[in-house]
Amino acid sequence: MTHVVILGAGIAGVTAAYALKAKLGPRDEVTVVSDKPYFHFVPSNPWVAMGWRERADIAFPIGPHLEARGIKFIHSGVKRIQPDVIQVDLENGDVLFYDTLLIATGATGMAEAIPGLAEHTHSVLHVDDAERALAAYREFVRHPGPVVIGAAPGASVLGPLYEYAFLVDADLKRRNIRERVSITLVTPEPWPGHLGLGGEGASRGAVTAALADTRISALCNARTVRVDKDAIHVVEVDAAGNEKQTHALPYAYSMYWPAFGGVPGVRASERLVNERGLVVVDEYLRNPDYPNVFALGACVAQPPVEQTPVPVGAPDSVYSIQKAGEIVVQNILAHLHDAPLTSHVPQRAKWLSDMGDTGAAYLSGPQVPLRDINWMRQGRWVHQAKVDFEKYFVNKIRLQPAGQGLSPASRIAGVMSRAMGAGGQAPAPLAAPAGSGKPMEIRLPQDPCTDLRALARAFGREPDALAAELLAAAVSDAKSYLDEAGIEAVALSRRQLLVEELPERQPGVEFHGGGT
């Protein structure tokens, strides 16, 4: 019997746990440990910070979904890892012994590296951070002023930096206060759209043009050194890294993307990590000193693609984590069966960035120059694609294991509970909510039509409004019967329908780059 322990219940940890449990033997055990009892879809955090998503849209308890697949879940932080004695000490006092360990804890922001950063700026690194950022943003729009959106030296995965800047621009325009707000983007990159990838391709011209179109100022080769209550102090350097100019940027609201470091329990395991607490791995995603310890996701120590005047970390995305996850699962199984391992390089960089009503898609392959694919495309379709991918991925994590039927706690049960009110008493009549969807003509046979009207009258609802809620709940319940292939088929059909219904049928302005 083999015991695989996975630290982390995020995008990397949960998807790897599902795949390993499906491929290991019936007597083998998989245990997932997380300091948080829920899964949350990290790429949607900028939307939460803008009030465009609720926490419940992207976060939900993960224990039941793991346990439904026979995966044990332990809600506890990690105190330390002791690879010499193959054990993990947990903050709740438990000790776990493992045959193979997969570290997928994600990372923590190293805000303490810059004085005042944690105290005076906000972050979208975690959903908790995003909720705090939203509260501050709502206060800010009552008294608007300069906005500074920046990244710390050494920061990686810089896509959210640009995404958040464009979202703020779009939101302020909707509020009709954009003219009263200046937006400055502060980045360690040598030029806008570098993104830690190196090589000057399509992204530089496209991102520069997009910033100019939205009147967002960019300060590159920027090293943030201190944050005061009313000013952010930045040193701008030249191509050789020498100080060129200092800036004291006033701000009324600021969001910063910090450099990544390991979470405390992993950082304490000195023989596994680098100076920032990130796990050191080889090309097989395993630690060079401990062949039964693997790592995946943001907790992995990735070297920069190229040297820059101000340090810039390597990029990452859900796509690259998924592809690396496939390799790490394959290599864990190979390790357990003494089979050859597979390298995870070269890899592609690929992600979607929302820009309000439009968006940008980027693909680079391989990630390390010289590369033969390097393009960026922009249009309304990207915005919709990111919305659709969020729904697809969250549904995939919530997917019930094969052979399980519909839960009694269905969406329809929830609709009827709200309709009946507490204690089964009929609530006061409610006005029909204004519909935001596209009208659809549905013809019901006589009996269900009469029953629907009777239900609505009994509980003080408008028939159309109750029918809309019940239909939406029924569709959600129906999707819970789907297997993974069914979910992918529905996601593809949904994307096709949404693109067909876009005001613009054309993909939008496209930016192409050659090999760089």
pLDDT score recorded for residue 346: 58
Lowest average pLDDT, out of 32-46, 162-176, 226-240, 429-443, goes to: 429-443
Domain spanning 111-260: CATH superfamily: FAD/NAD(P)-binding domain (3.50.50.60)
Lowest average pLDDT, out of 267-281, 293-307, 465-479, goes to: 465-479
Q: Is the pTM of this model over 0.95?
A: no
**How does the average pLDDT of the chain come out, rounded?**
83
**Domain limits of the chain?**
3-107+262-345, 111-260, 411-479
pLDDT score recorded for residue 465: 83
Average pLDDT over residues 56-66: 94
Average pLDDT over residues 356-385: 51
Beta strands of 22-142 (E only): which ranges? Answer: 29-34, 38-40, 59-61, 72-75, 78-82, 87-90, 95-97, 100-103, 108-109
C-alpha to C-alpha distances, 492 to 286, 388, 488, 489, 497, nearest whole angstrom: 35, 9, 6, 5, 9
Lowest average pLDDT, out of 366-375, 394-403, 441-450, goes to: 366-375
pLDDT score recorded for residue 320: 82
As a CATH number, domain 3-107+262-345 is 3.50.50.100
pLDDT exceeds cutoff 60 at 361: no
- How many helices (H) and strands (E) in the chain? 15, 23
Instruction: Please give the Cα distance from 463 to 452 (Å, whole number).
Output: 7
